[in-house]
């Protein structure tokens, strides 16, 4: 084995650039850089960051260069990736006797930064901030939201202690770490086992308790979390929206959305079509809450930025990204880059990607009104649409994936009242009613006033929906 100095440059600058790297032998053997190991843990909260396991493949995040032991005289496959705006490197080399260096380059295919776009991952967990910053550079992400959360941690004494990962690194409205225009900001994920979860971004301080319910009384509320976060213009993100939690779909998080306390609805790489159907009902009922994309990374099987948010800030820095998401000047993507404009009653959308996608669509009031099959030209896939949309309540653009990749979606652009508002509101009212019933029959309150507070919020949300019928 030879210890080889391997470097990957940015083709435009000729300087080393962080990438996600894999070097493998003809039999698929993974070769690890010095300081890393080809076998590494990949469970939840197990040494997260720096490595990625995809099937049998082991990938490593490097800062642009590494030393790596490699065999001579056999073909070696060298792969490197750097997010959706760079061409992936995939080449084969054979080391000669005594060869001690390998040099490669990755080339940018598109530069959204030049057009004012900033990319971010809205939620990840358990990465040390320094690992998150390196992964961000390797995935070409500008902003990483690292959210501290309560997590049981098994000890060798047999006790599963409740811990809060990286709460001591909480940075709120400022980066905990930043370098080369990229930043890692530490905030919190606040959860209830039935009523829902919210990511509190750009919060001026941690909002406690981080959890309630379960073994503890239900004497708090998702709306309380949102209120506290909003005191200093924090961003409240509904996490795992419309997933069934302890029998509830929606819970108090939906109530908060209807009452104007939720700023964005998160979508992740595990997005289900049923979730989109509920999101479309929210929009059709008259609540055009923007989407925000997140990897939800909490292990070494999920890439940081697997689903990300491109936002177009009006001011620089983390606050600018947050306000662009709040204002819907954004789109979420697992690869395709969307351009979406509505002007004079006509909508125009283009989609370009190095990742294969099936088609680009225009969705209005929850119904697909136009579609274009993706076309391939060289390594690029693209689609384009233009159609009249002036008779609809809202319109959004999306890309449908081929397999697990190629999804993208814009927030809605509201044009007026949707014809299906009454029906959508009626569907949402059933979920609010279920939350009200939960409070009456399943909630455990040490303070009866907390139960009454949730029932009052449910009543106000139901009244708001009734006014749309």
pLDDT digits (tens, 9 = 90+) for 304-344: 999 999 999 999 999 999 999 999 999 999 999 999 999 99
- E strands in 149-258: 150-154, 160-164, 177-179, 182-192, 196-201, 235-239, 244-245, 248-249
DSSP string, 419-441: TTHHHHHHHHHHHHHHHHHHHHH
> Predicted confidence band at 468 (pLDDT cuts at 50, 70, 90)?
confident
Rounded CA-CA distance 430/449 in Å is 24
Q: For residue 356, what are its two tokens?
A: 């294969």
Q: For residue 378, what are its two tokens?
A: 């060289």
Rounded CA-CA distance 165/149 in Å is 6
Whether the CB-CB separation of 312 and 330 falls below 8 Å is answered with yes
pLDDT tops 80 at residue 460: yes
Residue 196 pairs in a beta bridge with 192
Residue 78 pairs in a beta bridge with 23, 91
pLDDT tops 80 at residue 270: no
Number of other residues whose CB lies within 10 A of the CB of residue 117: 20
Rounded CA-CA distance 334/27 in Å is 30
Residue 358, classed as helix, strand or coil, is strand
Q: pLDDT exceeding 70 applies to what percent of the chain?
A: 99
Rounded CA-CA distance 216/444 in Å is 8
pLDDT tops 90 at residue 303: yes
Average pLDDT over residues 267-287: 89
Walk me through the domains of the chain, giving residue ranges and CATH numbers.
Answer: 2-106 (2.60.40.2190), 110-334+415-469 (3.20.20.140), 335-406 (2.60.40)
Is it true that the peptide bond before 451 is cis, omega within 30 degrees of 0? no
pLDDT the model gives residue 153: 87
Average pLDDT over residues 201-229: 97
pLDDT the model gives residue 469: 62
pLDDT tops 70 at residue 272: no
Whether the CB-CB separation of 148 and 128 falls below 8 Å is answered with no
pLDDT single digits (tens) 156-173? 898 989 999 999 999 999
Lowest mean pLDDT among 16-25, 243-252, 376-385: 243-252
pTM of the predicted structure, to 2 decimals: 0.96
Rounded CA-CA distance 442/453 in Å is 15
pLDDT the model gives residue 26: 95
């Amino acid at each position: 084995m030879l210890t080889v100095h391997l470097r990957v440059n940015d083709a435009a600058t000729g300087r080393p650039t962080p990438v996600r790297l894999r070097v493998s032998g003809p039999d698929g053997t993974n070769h690890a850089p010095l300081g890393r190991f080809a076998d590494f843990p990949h469970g939840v909260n197990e040494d997260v960051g720096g490595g990625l396991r995809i099937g049998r493949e082991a990938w490593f995040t490097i800062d642009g260069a590494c030393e790596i032991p490699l065999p001579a005289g056999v073909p070696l496959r060298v792969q490197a990736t750097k997010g959706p705006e760079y061409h992936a490197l995939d080449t084969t080399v054979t080391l000669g006797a005594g060869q001690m260096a390998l040099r490669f380059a990755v080339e940018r295919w598109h530069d959204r930064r030049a057009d004012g776009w900033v990319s971010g991952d809205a939620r990840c967990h358990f990465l040390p901030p320094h690992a998150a910053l390196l992964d961000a550079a390797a995935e070409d992400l500008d902003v990483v939201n690292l959210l501290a959360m309560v997590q049981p941690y098994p000890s060798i004494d047999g006790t599963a202690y409740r811990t809060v990962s990286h709460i001591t690194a909480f940075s709120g409205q400022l980066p905990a770490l930043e370098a080369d225009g990229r930043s890692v900001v530490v905030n919190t994920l606040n959860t209830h086992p039935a009523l829902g979860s919210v990511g509190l971004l750009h919060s001026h301080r941690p909002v406690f308790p981080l959890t309630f319910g379960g073994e503890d009384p239900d004497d708090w509320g998702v709306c309380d979390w949102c209120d506290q976060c909003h005191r200093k213009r924090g961003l409240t993100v509904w996490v795992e929206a419309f997933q069934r939690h302890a029998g509830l779909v929606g819970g108090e998080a939906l109530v908060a959305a209807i009452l104007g306390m939720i700023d964005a609805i998160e979508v992740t790489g595990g997005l289900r079509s049923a979730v989109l159907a509920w999101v479309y009902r929210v929009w059709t009922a008259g609540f055009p809450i923007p989407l925000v994309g997140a990897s939800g990374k909490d292990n070494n099987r999920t890439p940081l930025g697997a689903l990300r948010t491109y936002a177009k800030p009006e001011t620089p820095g983390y606050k600018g990204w947050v306000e662009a998401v709040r204002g819907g000047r954004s789109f979420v993507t697992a690869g395709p880059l969307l351009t979406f404009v509505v002007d004079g009653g006509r909508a125009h959308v283009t989609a370009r990607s190095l990742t294969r996608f099936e088609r680009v669509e225009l969705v209005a009031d929850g119904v697909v009104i136009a579609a274009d099959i993706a076309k391939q030209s060289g390594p690029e896939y693209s689609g384009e649409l233009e159609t009249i949309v002036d008779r609809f309540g809202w319109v959004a653009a999306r890309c449908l994936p081929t397999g697990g990749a190629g999804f993208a979606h814009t927030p809605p652009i509201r044009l007026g009242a949707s014809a299906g508002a009454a029906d959508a509101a009626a569907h949402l009212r059933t979920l609010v009613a279920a939350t009200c019933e939960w409070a009456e029959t399943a909630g455990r309150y040490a303070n009866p006033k907390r139960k009454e507070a949730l029932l009052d919020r449910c009543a106000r949300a139901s009244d708001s929906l009734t006014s749309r019928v």
